[in-house]
Amino acid sequence: MSAPRKKAWQMAYDGGVQALRELVARKGARTLLKREEMGSAGWSAFHNAAARGHLSVLEYLWEESGVGPQVAQMVSDWGSTPLMSAAYYGHLHVVEWLLADERRCPKEMVRAVSYDRDFYPHFTALHYAAYRGSVAIVQLLATRFPELAPMVDKEGKTAAQVARD
C-alpha cells in the first residue's frame, strides 16, 4: 500500500514546486483552491510557502499555476493572510515580493487584522513582525503603510507596544 499523497499545503511547506506542478497537471489548477488541499486552519499553499520563505513556490503559484490571484488573496479561517505569515516568520524577501505588486497583496490585505480569539488577537502584519522582532519588516511596513502604526490589537496595543512587551 502506498503512502497517502501530500496535500498542496504540504507541498508548498516543503518547497515542492515540482510536486505542485505535477498536482496541477494531474488535477487542474482549481484543486489548489479546494478546502481539502489546505491545512487545518485554512492555510493555503500560498500561506505555507510565505511562512517558510519559499519564494520559488510563491512565484510558481502566482505566475504559472493559473489561479495566482485567487490563491494569493485567500484568508485563513482566523483571518491570517500570506503577508502576516511572512511577517511573523521574518521572511523579508517574501514581504518585499508580496508588496511589489498590489495584485499579490492588495491594500485591504495589508490592513487586514487576524481575528483568532486565543492566539495573537487582532494582529496586523506589522504587529506580527514587531512581536517577533523582525526589525527590517517592521521598518518596511511602517514606512510604506503609516496607517498601520496606530492600529491596536484586542488588548489595545499598537505594534510598537507589542514590540516593547
Q: Residue 139 half-sphere exposure, CB side, CA atoms within 13 Å?
A: 4
Calpha distance 120→127 (Å, rounded): 9
Calpha distance 160→39 (Å, rounded): 31
The pLDDT assigned to 4 comes to 62
Count CB-CB contacts under 10 A for residue 37.
Answer: 21
The pLDDT assigned to 41 comes to 85
Calpha distance 126→80 (Å, rounded): 13
Mean pLDDT by 10-residue block, N- to C-terminus, for the chain (165 residues)?
75 94 91 88 92 96 90 88 96 97 92 75 91 96 96 92 90
Query: Residue 49 corresponds to which cell in the numbers above?
Result: 510557502
The pLDDT assigned to 118 comes to 64
**Size (the chain), residues:** 165
The pLDDT assigned to 77 comes to 87
> How is residue 63 annotated by DSSP?
I
- Torsion (CA) 58, 136, 74, 71 in degrees, nearest 10: -10
